[in-house]
Amino acid sequence: MMTPERTVGRLSLYRRLLVAMRNRGTRHVFSHELASAAGVTAAQVRRDMMTVGCSGSPARGYDVPELIEHIGLFLDADEPEAVALVGVGNIGRAMMAYFEGRRPKLKMVAAFDQDGSKTNRVVHGCRCYPIEDMASVVDDRGIRVAMVAVPAEAAQDVADVLVRAGVRGLLNFAPVAIRVPEHVYVEDIDVTTSLEKVAFFARQKRAHKVSVS
C-alpha cells in the first residue's frame, strides 16, 4: 500500500496547522474546521485521517494532540533525518536560514559548494564542505536526503554523485528534470514555472471576469 504523494503533502500541512491550534489552546477539531484552515474539503480531511489510522468522535471531532502524534508517527522517521545541501548560493542560504531549528526531525548537517570562499565555515549551524568531499561525507554520515540548489547545468552531475553515495530522496531547485534510478524519489521546486503559472492564471481570471460581467 503506497500512500499517494498528495496525501503526504496534506498531512504535512495539517500537522503544522494542528500545532498552531494546539499552541492556541485548541483541544479538539472537526474535519470541516481543519479542512477550512487547510483549504480542502471536509471529506478529504476524513479520508486523510484514515490513512494515518486516526479516528474522531462525532461529538467532539478529532483530538488535536493525538492527531499531531499520529501524523508524526506516520510521517517522521524514528531518528532525526540528516539532510545535505548542495549549492550555497542565494537559495541554498535561504534554505539554511529557513530550516534552522524549524523542524527538529529534519536537520541540515552538511552543505557543499564549489566556491572555496564559502567552504570550511559554519553557516546557520551547518558546516560547509568543498564539493569534492560530497561523496565521502554523505556516505560517512549515512545521509539519505539532499537538497540540490546548484545551477541547472550542474544539477544532473550533483544528483548522480549523491545517488551513488546513498541518497534516496532529492529536493531539486534547479529548473531541469533530473534523471535518477527508480529507487530514488525526486521532488522539484521550480520557481520559474510556478511564477509563470501564476502569471498565466492571473491573466485567465481577468479575461474570465470580463467575459462574465
Contacts (Cβ under 8 Å, ≥6 apart) of 75: 8, 11, 12, 15
Judged by CB, which is closer to DNA: 44, or 114?
Answer: 44
Joined grid coordinates for residue 78: 524514528
Kindly list the distances between the CA atom of residue 87 and the CA atoms of 43, 45, 62, 116, in Å, as whole numbers in the listed order: 41, 37, 42, 12
Binding-site member from 11, 18, 52, 62 for DNA (CB under 7 A): 62
Cβ 95 to a second copy shortest distance, Å: 7
Segment contacting a second copy by CB under 8 A, of 41-49, 127-135, 154-162, 193-201: 193-201
194 lies in the binding site for a second copy (CB under 8 A):
yes
106 lies in the binding site for a second copy (CB under 8 A):
yes
Joined grid coordinates for residue 63: 483530538
Kindly list the distances between the CA atom of residue 104 and the CA atoms of 76, 107, 113, 123, in Å, as whole numbers in the listed order: 10, 6, 24, 17
Cα-only R_g, the chain: 20
59 lies in the binding site for DNA (CB under 7 A):
yes
Report what 73 binds from a second copy, DNA, none; CB cut-off 5-8 Å by kind. none
Binding-site member from 13, 19, 42, 154 for a second copy (CB under 8 A): 13
Cα distance between residue 171 and residue 122, in whole Å:
22
Binding site for DNA (CB under 7 A): 4-7, 30-32, 40-44, 46-47, 49-50, 54-59, 61-62
